[in-house]
Amino acid sequence: MSQSVPKTKTHVPDETENDLSIGESEHKTVGDYTAKEPIFQARNVNVYYADNHAIKDVSLDVGVNQVISLIGPSGCGKSTFIRCLNRMNDTIDSARITGEILLDGEDIYSREMDVVMLRARVGIVFQKPNPFPKSIFDNVAYGPRIHGLARNRAELDDIVQSSLERAGLWSEVKDRLTDPGTGLSGGQQQRLCIARTIAVGPEVILMDEPCSALDPIATARIEDLIDELKQNFAIVIVTHSMQQAARVSQRTAYFHLGYLAEVGDTNDIFTNPQHKLTEDYITGRFG
């Protein structure tokens, strides 16, 4: 079952702004792209937007109970890659994907895969907080309602409360659950979106630059939250902030012009990068 939205309003990463062309020899990924207990296994993934080859032959695992951060200069394919993992790219008409992505050993692009169930298992938090123009309660209850996760109102209340608690928002909103979610501050809205995602009970949470629209204090709260959430979820986070990648993630993958240049333990990547491009990027020579 596939969904197609006719419009392509979604941001399609454009051709890279910096001309950092790389030689053939640098296409091979440096480091170990596998994970010990993988939940996602992507193999030789290529993505095209019409004629634009956005992701080139990327293989990468996502392990359970850990945070992997994807870094790299703008237009390098991080967001595109993350959107392949729950098939959000289906909403873009011109997007085409080859290769294989396994979720618990199941190919998510196979015919048998129900994209609705896939997205229930793989939640996503976007760059800009996008709460629905509904009450705080209804925002969180949205997923459980459409998936029939609660048999009665009491169960629904429980799910909403626990989701908000895990997103660290409960104490701030418990007295005004009927207020519109759009009335919260930016940081609260983003935590509401995280609560909304948790409420469906996913296995993986994808985060596409979740803090880029937030101030430093709200960012710190989200980062603490990510640290707690990794006890229960696998988390893939795209970020432009290398400090953030260093703080929250256990593994880091460096994308460059659609290639996966290097992947490894976050500590190793930031202290001892093996790839020249990674080193240039983290030392701030470009990006």
Instruction: Find the binding residues for other proteins in span 86-115 (CB under 8 A).
Output: 86, 88, 91, 93
- The residue (of 66 and 197) whose beta carbon lies closer to other proteins is 197
* Site for other proteins contains 134 (CB under 8 A): yes
Query: Cβ 2 to other proteins, closest distance in Å?
Result: 10
Residue in 88, 142, 139, 141 with CA at minimum distance from that of residue 115:
88
SS3 150: coil
- The residue (of 72 and 131) whose beta carbon lies closer to other proteins is 131
Query: Cβ 175 to other proteins, closest distance in Å?
Result: 24
CA distance 170 to 206: 22
Alpha-carbon Rg for the chain, nearest whole angstrom, is 19
73, 118, 266, 254 alpha-carbon torsion, rounded to 10° = -30
* Site for other proteins contains 278 (CB under 8 A): no
Identify the residue whose tokens are 């880029």. Answer: 212
CA distance 215 to 270: 24
List, in sequence order, every beta strand (DSSP E) within the chain. Answer: 38-49, 52-63, 67-71, 95-103, 106-107, 122-125, 204-208, 234-238, 251-256, 259-265
Query: Cβ 63 to other proteins, closest distance in Å?
Result: 22
Q: Are 50 and 244 in contact (CB under 8 A)?
A: no
* Site for other proteins contains 237 (CB under 8 A): no
* Site for other proteins contains 116 (CB under 8 A): yes
Instruction: Find the binding residues for other proteins in span 141-160 (CB under 8 A).
Output: 142-143, 146-147
> Which residues, other chains included, contact 7 with Cβ-Cβ below 8 Å and sequence gap of 6+?
none
Contact region for other proteins (CB under 8 A) — 5-13, 62-70, 102-110, 238-246?
A: 5-13
CA distance 87 to 138: 25
Count of residues interacting with other proteins (CB under 8 A): 33
Query: Cβ 162 to other proteins, closest distance in Å?
Result: 17
- The residue (of 161 and 182) whose beta carbon lies closer to other proteins is 182
Binding mask 167-206 toward other proteins (x if CB under 8 A, else -) reads ---------------x----------x--xx--x------
Instruction: Find the binding residues for other proteins in span 26-65 (CB under 8 A).
Output: none
Residues making contact with other proteins (CB under 8 A): 3, 5-7, 9-10, 86, 88, 91, 93, 116-120, 123-124, 126, 128, 130-134, 142-143, 146-147, 182, 193, 196-197, 200
